[in-house]
Amino acid sequence: MTDDRRRTLLVILPAWNEEEALPGVLDELHATLPEADFLVVNDGSTDRTAVAARRGRTMVLDLPLNLGVGGAMRAGYKFAARKGYQAAVQVDADGQHDPADVRRVVGALESEGADVVIGARFAGEGTYTVRGPRRWAMKLLSASLSRLTRTRLTDTTSGFKASNRRAIELFAADYPAEYLGDTIESLVIASRAGLVVRQVGVTMRPRAGGTPSHNPAKAALFLGRAVLALLIALSRPTNPPIGETA
Amino acid sequence: MSGYYFALAGCVALVVFLTYLLRRRRLREKYVVIWLVVAVSVCVLGAFPQLVLAVTRAVGMETPSNLLFATALLVLLGVCIQLSVEMTEVEEETRTLLEEVALLRYDVQKLSDETVRTTDEDA
């Protein structure tokens, strides 16, 4: 057992029905980051994601039921906290995040003195654009969360996020499973606990599978739910971070 | 007057049913209390309807039926909120358990892989 060794970086990939994209994404990540460990959190997939994830050095956490990204990520942070990882980075399993950016995002933890670093779109890098209510929602969220975290954030709903040991311990105890909780509320939780949040611009690649939605009604619904999620998160009483004891 | 006895019998049956569920552990005490309070008070009010009239006058309402409807709505609202709260709690507990199951599964898998390897080396 090597559990007592001080481990460095854990790449966490929450995966729900990603059997097609996952092998390619993992191979590319392994090649780009030979020093890191990889954990796929299989979020109750109904396809063969768990089998597809067992590639090379990849470790797999199998959730028996679907919990959503937030649920999968808290399980991942618990794993990182218990096995003593010094840093963890969340990367999408669908190949949208460029493995080449992972090192820059993780590197910013040290170079910027940050506890949480977001790999952000719209930060000068890449060509990803959105329009209509979805854009307003993102603008509004960015503005409010930038103010809260006292730094400029352009992409608060990004699923590309690096955390250091302090943030891992906080998120292992408290990471919301609600809609948008894994992005918006987690940033509120982090900044309320006194963690430093920073962002690094990244490029987004087209998804390996599936189609992004451009339905205006859905976008309006997203705006409503995002505002609600933010207001609730902000109005919540603050709890001092509880250390993981296991 | 037969409607009166029918209603009263219904209330008594409700109290008996709730007690039965509680005794058989089909219903936990924290959920049964509010229903017992409701059932017993309905029994009392059913047996002594003049009580309702007195309460109606005391709170300044015109008709006793309005008082009963309003109270019933409030009680049901309270029960619904209580159930939502308990539901949220149960979901959070489920989530924590699922995480533990996944983490334990990982450790078991790892241990069994290592055991197989050691046994192979010994052989």
The pLDDT tens digits for B56-68 are 888 888 888 888 8
Answer for the pair A137, A219: CB distance below 8 angstroms, yes or no: yes
Average pLDDT over residues A61-79: 93
Instruction: Give the dihedral of Cα atoms A186, A188, A191, A193; nearest 10 deg.
Output: -80
3-state secondary structure at position B48:
coil
Average pLDDT over residues A209-214: 54
Answer for the pair A61, B103: CB distance below 8 angstroms, yes or no: yes
| CA-based R_g, chain A, Å | 17
Number of domains, chain B:
1
Is B122 within the bounds of a domain? no
Q: What is the DSSP string of chain A?
A: --TTS-EEEEEEEEESS-TTTHHHHHHHHHHH-TT-EEEEEEES-SSSHHHHH--TT-EEEEESS--HHHHHHHHHHHHHHHTTEEEEEE--TTS-B-HHHHHHHHHHHHHTT-SEEEEESSSSSS-----HHHHHHHHHHHHHHHHHHTS--S-TT-S-EEEEHHHHHHHHH----STTIIIIIHHHHHHHTT--EEEEE-PBPPPSSS-----HHHHHHHHHHHHHHHHHHHHSPP-PPPPP--
Q: Please write down the HEC assignment for all residues of A108-176.
A: HHHHCCCCEEEEECCCCCCCCCCCHHHHHHHHHHHHHHHHHHCCCCCCCCCCCEEEEHHHHHHHHHCCC
**Chain B contact probe: residue of A3, A16, A62 with most B CBs at under 10 A:** A62
Average pLDDT over residues B88-106: 94
Is B29 within the bounds of a domain? yes
Answer for the pair B82, B32: CB distance below 8 angstroms, yes or no: no
The nearest alpha carbon in chain A to B92 belongs to: A177
CB contact under 8 A, B95 and A59: no
Is B99 within the bounds of a domain? no
Is B61 within the bounds of a domain? yes
CB contact under 8 A, A61 and B101: no
Is B96 within the bounds of a domain? no
CB contact under 8 A, B95 and A82: no
Query: What is the set of domains in chain A, with CATH numbers?
Result: 7-235 (3.90.550.10)
Where in the sequence is the domain holding B19, given as residue range(s)?
Answer: 2-87
Average pLDDT over residues A179-196: 88
List of chain B residues whose C-beta atoms are within 8 Å of the C-beta of residue A78? 99, 103
Q: How far is A44 from chain B (nearest CA, A)?
A: 10
Average pLDDT over residues A152-165: 90
Residue A200's Cβ-side half-sphere holds a number of Cα atoms within 13 Å equal to 23
How many beta carbons lie within 10 A of that of residue A17, not counting itself? 19
CB contact under 8 A, B99 and A64: no
Answer for the pair A151, A198: CB distance below 8 angstroms, yes or no: yes
The pLDDT tens digits for B6-31 are 878 888 888 888 888 888 888 888 88
Residues listed for chain A:
246
Residue A131 has pLDDT above 80, yes or no: no
Residue A237 has pLDDT above 90, yes or no: no
Average pLDDT over residues A70-77: 94
Is B102 within the bounds of a domain? no
Is B30 within the bounds of a domain? yes
Q: How far is A60 from chain B (nearest CA, A)?
A: 7
Closest residue to B98, CB basis, from A59, A65, A79: A65
Cα–Cα distance between A103 and B119 in angstroms, integer? 40
DSSP code of residue B40: H
Token pair for residue B93?
């507990």
Cα–Cα distance between A78 and A95 in angstroms, integer? 24
Token pair for residue A179?
């809609």
> For chain A, which residues lie within 8 Å of any Cβ of chain B, measuring from their own Cβ?
1, 41, 59-65, 67, 71, 74-75, 78-79, 82, 177
CB contact under 8 A, A67 and B98: yes
Give residue A239's pLDDT: 59
DSSP code of residue B88: H
Give residue A127's pLDDT: 57
Q: How far is B103 from chain A (nearest CA, A)?
A: 6
Answer for the pair A78, A59: CB distance below 8 angstroms, yes or no: no
Cα–Cα distance between A61 and A98 in angstroms, integer? 23
CB contact under 8 A, B98 and A62: no
CB contact under 8 A, B101 and A64: yes
Is B47 within the bounds of a domain? yes
